[in-house]
C-alpha cells in the first residue's frame, strides 16, 4: 500500500491558473462585439439586395470595410476562445488536444478567408 498525500493525489487536478484570464478575454471580446455587430448590421443591411457594382463601391469606402473586418476578426477570435473553453470542459487526453488544434485551425482559416475577401473587395 502506497502512502500518497492529499497534495500528491490532487496534483494536476487543481487550478490551471488561466481560468480568470480566459473569462476576462471572453468578457472583453463580448463587449467589443456588441457595438461591432450593431454597426455591421446597419452597414450590411443598408446595402443588402443592391446590385453587385453598388456593393463593391460601398465596401470600397473605409468605414463599412473596417467595420466588417473588425467584426469578423473579433468574432472569430471570440469563437475560438469559446470553443476552446467548451472543449477543455468536456473532453480530455488526446481528443482534447486534437479538437483544440482543429478548432484553432478552423477559426484562423475562417478569419483569414474573411480578411482576404474584405481586403480584395476594398482594394
Give 5-56 pLDDT, tens digit per residue: 776 666 655 555 667 888 899 999 999 999 999 999 999 999 999 999 999 9
Domain that holds residue 105: 19-122
Any domain includes 14 = no
Any domain includes 1 = no
Any domain includes 87 = yes
DSSP-assigned letter for residue 100: H
Structural domain total, the chain: 1
Signed CA dihedral, 38, 24, 75, 118: sign only? positive
In sequence order, which residues have a C-beta less than 8 Å from that of residue 29 and are 6 or more positions away?
74, 77, 78, 81
Any domain includes 8 = no
Query: Scanning the structure block, which residue is given the C-alpha cell 486534437?
Result: 98
Any domain includes 3 = no
Any domain includes 6 = no
Any domain includes 95 = yes
Decide: 70 and 40 in contact? Cβ < 8 Å: no
Number of residues that make up the chain: 123
Q: Could you tell me the CATH number of the domain that includes residue 43?
A: 1.20.1300
Any domain includes 90 = yes
* Predicted confidence (pLDDT) per residue in 70-105, tens digit: 999 999 999 999 999 999 889 999 999 999 999 999
Amino acid at each position: 500500500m502506497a502512502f500518497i498525500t492529499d497534495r500528491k493525489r490532487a496534483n494536476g487536478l487543481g487550478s490551471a491558473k488561466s481560468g480568470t484570464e480566459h473569462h476576462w478575454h471572453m468578457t472583453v471580446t463580448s463587449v467589443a462585439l456588441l457595438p461591432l455587430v450593431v454597426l455591421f448590421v446597419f452597414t450590411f443591411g443598408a446595402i443588402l439586395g443592391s446590385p453587385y457594382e453598388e456593393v463593391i463601391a460601398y465596401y470600397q469606402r473605409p468605414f463599412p470595410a473596417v467595420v466588417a473586418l473588425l467584426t469578423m476578426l473579433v468574432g472569430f477570435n471570440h469563437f475560438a476562445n469559446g470553443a476552446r473553453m467548451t472543449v477543455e470542459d468536456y473532453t480530455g487526453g488526446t481528443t482534447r488536444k486534437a479538437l483544440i488544434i482543429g478548432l484553432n485551425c478552423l477559426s484562423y482559416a475562417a478569419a483569414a478567408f474573411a480578411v482576404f475577401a474584405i481586403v480584395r473587395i476594398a482594394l
